[in-house]
Amino acid sequence: MFLGFDCEISQKSQTRIVQKWKDLKFHKQSNIVIQDIATKLRLQIIGISRYYGYFNVASLRKLFRYLQNRLAKWVRNKYKSMGRSYTKAHRWLAEIKISYPTLFYHWQLFKSV
């Protein structure tokens, strides 16, 4: 901290990772199930958390919150009963997280994401 350097993920790296998640466009694929998304993203999430979170896992909270919002967008598109509500989608994801806590790797790292 003396020189203004902290061991956390840079904004450029966050932008690059988020862009890769956007390019996957899984939020538009309503024909797949959440397990398919989890297997597709599992190795990426593990790699990101082990490489960038080696010294400071808390610095990845913003990045994984973005992923959680992207998953909520998928839930809204998959289940039309959710309507336009992100709140209902996040509640549904919270129920899945309680039932299957190891489905996504970042759910194990952060209890509140």
* pLDDT over 70 (residue 66): yes
> Does residue 42 lie in a domain region?
yes
Q: Quick one: pLDDT at residue 54?
A: 86
> Does residue 22 lie in a domain region?
no
> Does residue 7 lie in a domain region?
no
Range of the domain at 55: 33-109
> Does residue 47 lie in a domain region?
yes
> Does residue 21 lie in a domain region?
no
Determine contact, residues 52/13, Cβ cutoff 8 Å.
yes
> Does residue 81 lie in a domain region?
yes
Q: Which residue has the higher pLDDT, 81 or 22?
A: 22
> Does residue 14 lie in a domain region?
no
> Does residue 39 lie in a domain region?
yes
Q: Quick one: pLDDT at residue 93?
A: 94
Mean per-residue pLDDT over the chain, rounded: 89
* pLDDT over 60 (residue 38): yes
Domain count, the chain: 1
- DSSP codes joined into one string, 44-100: HHHHHHHHHTSS-GGGGHHHHHHHHHHHHHHHHHH-GGGTT-HHHHHHHHHHHHHH-
